[in-house]
Structure 1
């Protein structure tokens, strides 16, 4: 299953690959050049298909947990001052996606979208400390039943040139539902309340709509 954001690219790449194979088969007499070109074209198609894959992940919404919004590796767990919307201290969990990861963004929690804004910007490498405030990005805030308001940012990386965000203010969303897509290497920051219980560790690999990032902190914790 492939993401809708990749349909045009997949179809275009497919026809280019077919054309390349046909042309090289009939018009290039040097065998190693012909075979090399055909192999390169097929590998390119496989990479495009791999990048835009969209595995189906069924989720039973859990109001006590925040799930990973994307596949990737946890590269930061820290307290930050959030100046755009919350204007207070937040627990930030940053997840870096390499080009080989699934790049679908999924809602980390169920609730109502209270804020959704796109910001043009730079294309610093996604793990750069300033990428969350200087790169092209979107900021989305969801009001949840148990955690109150939580936020996340889709952040473009050095390779990414287009962020797709489906969140609209006032919309009711469901945990695990498709929230958007980031084309090529990128990062997502979760902005969580200080009193939540972070359940992942630095450098841990996480799976979107599967790995629990944070849970409600019990009174005796």
Structure 2
């Protein structure tokens, strides 16, 4: 299953690969012809795997905050959040390499209170200033257990477009499709101070499956 945001790119890639295969008949050097076909097919496979969208069923529990994306946990620290909260929050950052699934999923149930797109630079996603200077979207969801939870999609050095489906006033359903980031990127989650984190630095997170935070209320 592939994400709808990749439909155009996948179609163009298929056309190009077919064109390369037909054009290769004009090449008389056998090894060069085969090599060109193999490269074209490898490129197609890379595009298909990047836009894959595995079906996942979330726990759909207000007592847990789930990972919004697949990737590696690279930051767990207390930071000052200047855009919306304007106070200190616990930030958990998940870095996505080009080989990860790039679908963004809602980490919690609730009502979207804030959703804003920011154009910006394309620093590498793990750069300290990427969350403030790169192209990004900021989404805040009000959850009945945790209160307001923010996640921020951040474009990386290769990314040139962030897709965000969250609109203010809409209801977010945990684990459901919330958007897409094309190519290398990162997502930051901002949590209330004192939230118990269930992941460690370097851990592999799976979107809609990995529990980022344990329940704070029974």
TM-score clears 0.5: yes
Indicate if the aligned counterparts of 1:109 and 1:144 stay in contact, CA closer than 8 A: yes
What residue in structure 1 maps to residue 189 of structure 2? 190
What residue in structure 1 maps to residue 132 of structure 2? 133
Write the distance in 2 (CA, Å) between the matches of 1:99 and 1:148. Answer: 33
Equivalent residue runs for 1:49-198 within 5 Å: 49-198=48-197
Secondary structure at 1:74 match in 2: strand
| TM superposition shift of 1:218 | 5.5
| TM superposition shift of 1:195 | 2.3
Write the distance in 2 (CA, Å) between the matches of 1:192 and 1:215. Answer: 12
Write the distance in 2 (CA, Å) between the matches of 1:89 and 1:102. Answer: 30
What residue in structure 1 maps to residue 208 of structure 2? 209
What residue in structure 2 maps to residue 47 of structure 1? 46
What residue in structure 2 maps to residue 17 of structure 1? 17
| TM superposition shift of 1:60 | 3.0
Write the distance in 1 (CA, Å) between the matches of 2:57 and 2:188. Answer: 23
Indicate if the aligned counterparts of 1:195 and 1:217 stay in contact, CA closer than 8 A: no
| TM superposition shift of 1:23 | 1.1
The number of equivalent residue pairs is 218
| TM superposition shift of 1:216 | 2.7
| TM superposition shift of 1:15 | 1.0
Write the distance in 2 (CA, Å) between the matches of 1:136 and 1:72. Answer: 19
Write the distance in 2 (CA, Å) between the matches of 1:158 and 1:185. Answer: 7
Indicate if the aligned counterparts of 2:63 and 2:216 stay in contact, CA closer than 8 A: no
Q: Which runs of 5+ in 2 are unaligned?
A: none
Write the distance in 2 (CA, Å) between the matches of 1:194 and 1:216. Answer: 14
- TM-score under structure 2 length normalisation: 0.98
What residue in structure 1 maps to residue 37 of structure 2? 38
What is the root-mean-square deviation in Å for CA atoms of aligned residues? 1.0
Provide Cα deviations, 1:174-219, integer angstroms capped at 9, x if missing partner. Answer: 0000000000000000001112110000010010000000123369
Moved over 6 A (4+): none
| TM superposition shift of 1:136 | 0.6
Q: Which runs of 5+ in 1 are unaligned?
A: none
Write the distance in 2 (CA, Å) between the matches of 1:63 and 1:127. Answer: 30
